[in-house]
Amino acid sequence: MRTRLRRAAAMIARATVLLAMVAAGAGAQSVRDDGRIDRESLQLLRAIVDTATAHGLPAQPLLDKILEGSARNVPGPRIVAVVRQYAAALGEARTALGPSSTAPELDAGAAALRSGVLPAQLIRMRAVRGPGTAATSIVILTDLVSRGITTERASDALERVLRLDTDDSMALALRNAVAQGDAQASMKSLGKFLDDLPDSRKVRKPPETS
């Protein structure tokens, strides 16, 4: 009894460490250990996540990938491969979007890169949306590309629209217009949306940047 109470005291007394838990708060994910991921894969995953966080990359998107893979009964080695690639993509996203990028921006950027968006196109998004405000446009860019619009055309169109508004409402409208149709219709919908922009709001295409 006395030993247990002393242990309680020791636990409670580690205020600094426990405050870190509180601060981390939402970052404390957990997975039911039902044996879906083999031990070796777990160790590799642990190393990948530790390395990523040591480089200042957000761990949450990687944990999400692990959990998703586990929920889908994906074999451990495949989860390891996916998480490794995603960690690399997070790093590339940070290079493209800059060190001041928020975790949602990096997460969105990594997903964009994995779907075929080029780093140069992320840079263009950053040019029109400052740190902490680019996640929506990156998500929209990814969605347009996933619907069959070429990355160049999608980023052109999006950049034009984003320069017209300080919030992302027009970009969201563009996405919605494209999303209603099938792949073939997507390009037409995109073109029509741009053509239908009111005359007074059309802007010249921005000068080419190096």
Q: Which of residues 12-31 bind another protein (CB under 8 A)?
A: 12-15, 17-22, 24-31
Residue of 76, 58, 51 whose CA lies nearest to 66: 76
CA dihedral 24, 81, 148, 140 (to 10 degrees): 10
Among 80, 90, 97, 112, binds another protein (CB under 8 A): 112
Helix ranges restricted to H, the chain? 2-13, 15-24, 39-54, 60-71, 76-97, 103-114, 119-128, 135-146, 151-164, 169-179, 183-195
Among 82, 164, 177, 194, binds another protein (CB under 8 A): 82
Among 94, 147, 154, 155, binds another protein (CB under 8 A): 147
In the bound complex, what is the minimum distance in angstroms from residue 88's beta carbon to another protein?
Answer: 12
What is residue 180's DSSP assignment? Answer: T
In the bound complex, what is the minimum distance in angstroms from residue 168's beta carbon to another protein?
Answer: 8
| Nearest CB to another protein, comparing residues 5 and 198 | 5
Considering only residues 22-81, where is the footprint of another protein by CB under 8 A?
22, 24-33, 37, 42, 45-46, 49-50, 53, 59-60, 62-72, 74
Among 57, 80, 139, 171, binds another protein (CB under 8 A): 139
Integer Cα distance of 140 and 146 in angstroms:
10
| Nearest CB to another protein, comparing residues 103 and 197 | 103
Residue of 67, 126, 58 whose CA lies nearest to 96: 126
In the bound complex, what is the minimum distance in angstroms from residue 97's beta carbon to another protein?
Answer: 13
In the bound complex, what is the minimum distance in angstroms from residue 45's beta carbon to another protein?
Answer: 6
Q: Under the criterion CB under 8 A, does residue 108 sit at the interface with another protein?
A: yes
Integer Cα distance of 155 and 163 in angstroms:
12
Integer Cα distance of 118 and 125 in angstroms:
11
Token pair in block for residue 34: 């039902």
Q: Under the criterion CB under 8 A, does residue 193 sit at the interface with another protein?
A: no
